[in-house]
Structure 1
C-alpha cells in the first residue's frame, strides 16, 4: 500500500488519503503498519464531534480547559493510538531495534510512520501481531486497576464490558478479587464470564446496584470500576459500593452529567470517587508506576499468556474502508467490540 493516512475533516467525515513519506532522522525508525485498532472511546468522540478538545484548548501548564477562539481544529490527520507494525528502516545510530522486528506503539492510523526508536517496543515472541493493538487499551484498563487499589478476596463491580471493561475484568480476576460484570449486552457478559467474572448482571433488565448487593450478602462491592463513560452507570456504581468504598471513574464522559444524583448514596455513604486516566498512574502508586511501565507490564501479561485479548477482536477491516469501520462503532451494534484497520 502506498503511504496513506486516515483524515477526519469534520464530524462523521472520514477517509484514507495519500500522504508524503517522511525522511528518516537520527534516533528514528521507520515502521510499516500492519494493524491499527480504533478506540471506541476517544476516537468516537472525535468522530462524533463531542470531544472537548474540539471546542476548547487544553492549557497543559495550568491543567485546565480554556475557551477556544478559532474554529474547530479539523482536519485531523493520523489520529489513533493502537498500532502494530514492522520496522523496515533504522537510523545508523539506532541499536535497540532492527529491520524486520514487529513492534507496538502509537503513531496513528497511517501506512508508514517515522518514530523515535524509544517510542516503540518489540512484540513479545510468538504473539499474533493483532495482539499489539491492545497495548494502549490494556494500559487504560491497568491504570484503572491500579487506581482501584484492589485486595485479595474483595468484591469488585466492573461496569461496562467493552474492550476496556473486559480487559479490566480479567486484570481484576488476576488480582485475586471476585468480579461482578455489568453491561447491557448479553454477548459481552458471556465474554466477561469467560474472563473469570463470578457473576454477570444485565443492566438492561436487572437493577445493577441491587444485584451486586444481593450477591455480596447485602454489603455491596468493595470497589466499583465504571468504564462505560455513561453517567447513569456511574450512578449505579456508586449505589453498588460499600460505605466509604471506592468508585474508579475510568470512562470518557461527554457533556454535562445526566442521571447522576450525587445527593443520594454518594453523599450518604461517603463514597470515594477517583478518576483514572492513562496519561499518569494514581497518586498512591505514581512513585513506582508510570505510563510506560503500565503499557509494558500489560503486554508482558499478554506475552505470558495471562491475558488473551484476541477474542475481543470483532472486526478486521481494510484501511481503505475506514469510513465503514467507524460507522460500525458509531452504531454500537451488539457484536462490535475491537475494530481493527488492516494496512497490509
Structure 2
C-alpha cells in the first residue's frame, strides 16, 4: 500500500525480496490502520513530507528544494502474520522462539508479506488458537500504556483521558486497572458508549464547561493528570485547564501545524501545570532503569491474552487490502462510526 499524493492511495505489486542470512519472511494476515498518525500521511500534513528527521541531532531538517516526500511506502505499524520462511542462520544463534509456522505481531507495514531480521521478532509470538487480530493491538496498546505510566496513574488518582479512539479507549481501560478514577472525554456517542464499557467512571463531552464539570467531580481540586490522546490542540488546551495545582498533562497525540489555541498565560501558568510528551520510542524517564519498550509490549500482550481489554469489540470495519483507498476515504470523510479499521490480506 502506497500514498502517492495527498488523499491518493494505491496498492502496487513489487518484486519479492530474497531472504538474507538471519532474516524471516512473514505472510501478513491482518494489518491495523492508525486513524491518527497514518491520516497525517494520507492528508499531507505529516512533517516527514517537508522535513527529514536526523536521528543523531534529533531534529527535523527542512528538505532541500520544494519536492514533497511522496510517494510514502511502508506505512502501518500494527501487523500480524505467520512466519513462512527462514533464511540461513548467522554465526550467532537465532532466537529460539522464532520458527516457521509461528504467529507473530510486529511492524512491517500494509503489505502482503514482510521481510525482517529474525531478532526483531524475539518475544513477538502469539500462542496457537488466538484470534490473530489481537496482534494488531499490541503496538497501539503499548502507546496507551506508556501514556498511563507517564500520568502516574494509581489508586486515589483522578485521571482524565481526552479522546476515546482506539488508543484512548485502551488508555482508559489501563488507567481503570491501576485503580484510578477515570474521566473519559469524548464527543462521539459510539466512543462515549465504548468508554463506559472500558470502565470509565465518568464520561463527559468536550466544551467550555468541561473544566468546571471536572472540578465538580473532584471536590474543586481538578484532575491529578490528564492524557491528551486526540492529537487536537483544542484538546491539549482543555487538558491544561482540567488538571489541578501542579497537575500533569501527558501529550500523547500526534499534533499537526501550529497550536494557535494554546493559552499558556492562564491556568497553565498559575497552576504550574507540567506538560510531558509521551512517544513510543521510549518509556517515561523515571522508569527507564526498570522499564523499556519491550516490557511495555510484553505487558500488553499478557493483558490482551486475558481479555484486557476486549479489543476485538473495537474492530468496526474490515477491508481487503485492494480496497485500502476506500478505508482511508471513509476515515477521512466520516469516521465517527469507526474505531479500529483492519486491512485483511489475500
TM-score normalized by the length of structure 1? 0.95
CA contact (8 A) 1:96 1:117 kept: no
Deviation for aligned residue 1:333: 2.4
How far 1:92 sits from its partner (Å)? 4.1
Give 1:59's aligned residue: 54
Aligned counterparts of 2:85 and 2:29: Cα–Cα separation in 1: 15
Map 1:101-116 → 2, pairs under 5 A: 101-116=102-117
Offset at residue 314 of structure 1 (A): 1.0
Determine which of 270, 273, 279 is the counterpart of 1:271.
273
2:78 aligned partner: 82
Question: Following superposition of structure 1 onto structure 2, how do residues 155-234 of structure 1 map, counting pairs within 5 Å?
Answer: 155-203=158-206, 207-234=209-236
Aligned residue number for residue 3 of structure 1: none
> Counterparts in 2 of 1:246-285, with a 5 A limit?
246-285=248-287
Moved more, 317-326 or 97-106: 97-106
C-alpha distance in 1 between matches for 2:130 and 2:263: 45
Rounded to whole Å, the distance in 1 between the matches of 2:58 and 2:76 is 23
Q: 1:239 aligns with which of 219, 241, 246?
A: 241
Distance in 1 separating the partners of 2:215 and 2:329: 37
2:290 paired residue number:
288
Is there any run of 5+ residues in structure 2 with no aligned partner, and where?
none
Counterpart of 1:308 in structure 2 is 310
* Alignment match of 2:319 (pick from 317, 320, 324): 317
Query: Mapping of 1:128-167 within 5 angstroms?
Result: 128-167=131-170
2-structure distance, mates of 1:188, 1:306? 18
TM-superposed deviation, 1:81 = 0.6
Deviation beyond 2 Å, 4+ runs, structure 1? 91-96, 124-127, 304-307
Return the offset for 1:90. Answer: 1.7
| Secondary structure in 2 matching 1:273 | strand
Answer yes or no: is the 8 Å Cα contact 2:161–2:228 preserved in 1: yes
Within the candidate set 47, 68, 73, 1:72 is matched to 68
With over 3 angstroms needed to count, the CA separation of the structure-2 counterparts of 1:270 and 1:332, relative to structure 1, is farther
- For residues 16-37 of structure 1, the C-alpha deviation after alignment (integer angstroms, 9 at most, x for no partner) is 1111111112111110001011
* Cα deviation 1:134-158 (Å, max 9, x = unaligned): 1111111111111112221211100
Please, what is the CA RMSD of the aligned residues?
1.3
Quick check: 1:124–1:303 contact (8 Å CA) kept in 2?
A: no
- Say which SS state the counterpart of residue 33 (structure 1) adopts: strand
Q: CA deviation at 1:96?
A: 2.8
The residue number in structure 2 matching 1:118 is: 119
- Cα deviation for residue 222 of structure 1 reads 0.7
For structure 1, which runs of at least 5 residues remain unmatched after alignment?
1-5
